[in-house]
Amino acid sequence: MTAAAAARGVLSALACALCALVALLGLLFVVLGTAGPDWDDPASKVTRTVALLAIGALAAGVGAAIGAWQAALGGAQTARAAMLAGAVGPTAVAVLGGVALATPTAAGVFEAVVEAVVVAGGAVAGAAVIGRRLE
């Protein structure tokens, strides 16, 4: 794969994942409404956490699919190379962001690892969906 195809795939995956994340977070906040007095209630905290993880995985999947498609258009020689280029961007941001923002406790590191695994899974799944169509 050429460097231009890889850069095109990674950068478009990042841009599209960010746009999808902002749109989906906006939708989530419209659905959830205002914070209200029960915002820190343990039951709503679990719901928010699951919803935010799902949104992160979905945004990474959309970004990775578009990144793989753009890498293929940019000259990636195989579907596997295009899929890799699409999935690398969102996964790297999730891992680096999770490590940078994690609290230095065992629970904080565990949360960062779970987030990175979920987002990486979404990115690989999104890239695989489009990668099957590229073959």
Roughly what angle, to the nearest 10 degrees, separates helices 42-73 and 3-32? 150
pLDDT (mean) for 34-55: 74
Three-state DSSP class for residue 47: helix
Burial of residue 66, with CB atoms counted within 10 A of its CB: 0-12 exposed, 13-18 middle, 19 or more buried: buried
pLDDT (mean) for 48-75: 88
Q: Residue type for 64, please?
A: A
- Indicate yes or no: pTM above 0.85: no
Q: Any idea which of 4-13, 68-77, 95-104, 112-121 has the lowest mean pLDDT? A: 95-104
Whether the per-residue pLDDT at 102 is higher than 80: the answer is: no
**Alpha carbon separation from 32 to 29, 58, 106 (Å, rounded):** 5, 18, 30
Question: Whose CA is closest to 85, among 13, 16, 18?
Answer: 13
Whether the per-residue pLDDT at 121 is higher than 70: the answer is: yes
